[in-house]
Chains A and B, each alone.
Chain A
């Protein structure tokens, strides 16, 4: 590849990097060393301590500053003569439109979440700019090349959906620690510290639903005559004691399950009055509000230790008390303690803060080496793209264990998927009850959540049903708002079976048609959204370590799926192959299940093994890397 090194396309190339995190730091360095002279870099994040173990362009003194800007300055120190343009902004900002993308010869992604990846994919397709996509987790990583018309786009293959849990598992019958974490974080924490008006299934359902929910409405409001300690104890008794008693009263539930045990604060901390709890072994609060910690104030040091029920209860009260000043560490401590107390109730093993943090999300399994390797591979592909050397494009997988002797495994890119709704014009189809569902359901649950549009517009023929934008006059805004709450068949231009809706995102310049089919009934368990989108293949959900219940996911229906959205810092996860559509040629020379299983739960492992058995080509298996993400931070900060 002698020609690669001095290739003139490098010097003249204008490159856009999206992401200045783990991969981004390595990539910016490698691009600069390789001779790139005009690099633009977008990242909305600021630097955090836990970035410093791998994002080597950043120092302790940079914590809190823009990643894109600090990265630029660091690289200019060893390559002062090149041009690096940083943007401390969200790539989804309308400024970064198709015209913006068109100025670049290639776009390089080092992103941390599915949403942004999809968004950039669409802009690259619309602007006809090649995209090199990447991701890492632990020792695993991948680089792929997406060139319009030549290779598949980022969305040609289904992306695994975040794991969802039935609401009743979370509210009433948890059986794994993750259920307790979800309950603690997305129900209890959200109720106490989040938007009080949001619907919330915190209370255990009983046969007497009406009275229990009435009781619930005021219980979380502090009484006039109680202090914060008393409030904490009352909440404790309510959620770990009273609610469990209510749940126990429903005998049917426990016929085949272990009965949980109600836990009251007086039983766990019997001798401690409110005041005593306040002065036993206590450290003074530090000055820095960010480092306030219930753990520290109770002299518990090691986040790897598993606290006892007593310690969990102390942390619970302490964190609740301290939290009213809204501090980050406390959120994690509170969630850990609450989840552990609930786990104790349901005879589920307790976990350490370190483990709980991993389960609750916002945690990347990340090391510098993989990001460095991936950055090298990205630049190698970027150079091929600039040379227009389409036959040499490769997707490369970085594995933890050699497979066919390979640790770095190149695979020829696939052709575009002809039925991809993003890069082809294949219509989608939506089964929905047009007499009951509202336009809002389509806009929120389909157009935004599933199709990933940011600024959607919905049309029926030439009639505009909905759009967003700055330039709308008040009448239109009111009109669209009214439409949102109308049942589909009662819209000014009625949407019924056979209707073809056109949805568009003006920023992404993506447009697709949805054929509407009316259907009367939906299975509450299997189709909790009350609609079914097809032509848009979503991979089966994978239970990963990062989870959280999206706010406001719950309504009054009895057992609804709770979407768990995950988000990572900068990387992705190799998932078992179960998600590939049957017959899709997606073989990679025997990537053994061992390469994959590190990241998979036992169930996933089984699935991936099964998949390997199913393949008829002797020892070929399938790998899919995908991003999985969870950001407890978004919910908690």
Chain B
């Protein structure tokens, strides 16, 4: 039991139903956790709602973009009243609503570009969740988190069309698990994002989700073309297919593993699909709660959801 501080009467009343799911100790650990999110699109907004309701200690929001119609599409935190926008960033607007959800959680805004923060900055957090950022930024932030003495759990999440992907890096993670009557210690060793995506495709298990490969192709495409995340359209298809060919050749993977139709969906429809945001943001919330509370098997290390086949799949993309 860490700290051993008791929950207040107010906390016990508010969190009663979830304490029955994960216990008092887990609730106590949650209330001492600090979380950073960057890139407030629909899925991350869902995640923020979930984690604020769960009762974490603090949540820091990073997204300096101004409100656009696109930003509003899957964001229920921003009221439809232009008067309140007043030149304020998306993070600032979301902050107001989130504070309202649970007065016991400290919600604040961190301005600045994610890629400009040094490792010390991330030391303040237990969990870092980033979304809609470049491959380079993903690598950079992941490495910053890994440099620190304490473990900072790192997540990326991205949704395209009706598909979603979550990546998890808990570094070396130990947790206890009840098996029948005894409690066993479990240990998991996570690769970094860089390490995971460097694993040769042919050495991956046969039935890895096609979405894994498709997301890598699109991610790479955006990098080489210097596009902002999500800045693709159907007119890019021929170039994306060319890139697929190169990558498949390099990895000795049959191109049929990455169907044209799937790539087409991922690049053509950049508008968010709110039901998928709810699903993926919910899974992400659950995973962060598991990692913070030390309760339950955390997923290792990718999660994919596609509303077309309805499957929500966990893939272990690591050398271990």
Contacts and interface: CB of A to CB of B under 8 A. Distances in A.
A17 to B, nearest CB: 15
A336 B315 CA distance: 46
A75 B24 CA distance: 32
Which of B74, B308, B314: most chain A Cβ within 10 A?
B314
B269 A2 contact: yes
B286 A380 contact: no
Interface stretch (A226-234, A296-304, A572-580): A296-304
A361 to B, nearest CB: 12
A506 interface: no
Interface stretch (A46-54, A317-325, A522-530): A46-54
Contacts of B310: 377, 380, 394, 396, 408, 410
B307 A5 contact: no
Given A1-B273, A402-B299, A368 B14 contact: no
A380 B275 contact: yes
B63 interface: no
9 contacts: A4-B273, A5-B162, A29-B76, A49-B13, A50-B16, A60-B103, A405-B314, A406-B313, A410-B311
Contact of A369 (B19, B275, B285, B297): B285
A26 B13 CA distance: 21
Contact of B308 (A1, A32, A368): A1
B279 A408 contact: yes
Nearest to A571: B17
A26 B278 contact: yes
Contacts of B313: 405-407
A369 B79 contact: no
Contacts of A49: 13-14
Nearest to B286: A369
Nearest to B300: A402
Contacts of B78: 78
Contacts of A59: 100
B46 A372 contact: yes
Interface in A359-384: 363-373, 375-377, 379-380, 383
Interface string A42-83: 000000011011101001100000000000000101111100
B55 to A, nearest CB: 7
B286 A139 contact: yes
A401 interface: yes
A241 B310 CA distance: 60
Contact residue range for chain A? Answer: 35 or more
A371 B269 CA distance: 26
Contacts of B226: none
Contact of B289 (A52, A53, A369, A401): A369
A400 B22 CA distance: 12
Contacts of A400: 296
B291 interface: no
Given A53-B53, A368-B50, A396-B310, A373 B161 contact: no
Given A59-B100, A139-B21, 6 more contacts: A2-B265, A26-B278, A363-B16, A372-B50, A373-B282, A408-B310
A484 to B, nearest CB: 41
Contacts of B103: 60
A5 B269 contact: yes
A34 B274 contact: yes
Contacts of A4: 162, 273, 307
Interface in B38-84: 42, 46, 49-50, 53-55, 73-80
Contacts of A408: 279, 283, 305, 310-312
Contacts of B22: 367
A79 B73 CA distance: 10
A194 interface: no
Interface in A266-307: 301-304
Nearest to B22: A367
A29 B278 CA distance: 10
B17 A50 contact: yes
Contacts, number: 178
A489 interface: no
Most chain A beta carbons < 10 A, residue from B24, B42, B268, B286: B286
Contacts of A402: 299, 314
Nearest to A401: B297
Interface string B277-320: 11101110110010000001101000101011111111100000
Contacts of A394: 310
Interface in A216-268: none
B297 A372 contact: no
B242 interface: no
Contact of A79 (B13, B50, B80, B309): B80
B268 A2 contact: yes
A367 B18 contact: yes
Contact of A54 (B18, B274, B296, B315): B18
Contacts of B161: 1-2
Nearest to B285: A369
Contacts of A375: 275, 278
B9 interface: yes
B53 A30 contact: no
A53 B11 CA distance: 10
Nearest to B19: A354
B285 A368 contact: yes
Contacts of B162: 1-2, 4-5
Contact of A34 (B275, B305, B308, B315): B275
B6 interface: yes
A138 B21 CA distance: 6
Contact of B307 (A1, A77, A302): A1
A541 interface: no
Nearest to A375: B278
Contacts of A373: 278-279, 282-283
Nearest to A403: B314
Contacts of B263: none
Nearest to A2: B269
Contacts of A367: 17-18, 21-22, 54, 286, 289
A239 to B, nearest CB: 29
The 5 A-B pairs of least Cβ separation, nearest first, read: A408-B312, A410-B310, A376-B278, A373-B282, A33-B274
A533 interface: no
B201 interface: no
Given A4-B273, A78-B76, A368 B54 contact: yes
B275 A302 contact: no
A409 B313 CA distance: 8
Contacts of A376: 274-279, 282
Interface in B234-274: 265, 268-269, 271, 273-274
Nearest to A5: B273
A408 B273 CA distance: 18
Nearest to B20: A365
B175 interface: no
Contacts of B279: 372-373, 376-377, 408
Contacts of A26: 278
B12 interface: yes
B117 interface: no
Q: Which of A75, A81, A369 has the most CB of B within 10 A?
A: A369
A358 interface: yes
Given A56-B101, A302-B6, A379-B274, A78 B314 contact: no
A167 B21 CA distance: 31
A407 B289 contact: no
B15 interface: yes
B15 A406 contact: no
A137 to B, nearest CB: 9
B13 A77 contact: no
Interface in A64-118: 75, 77-81
B315 to A, nearest CB: 7
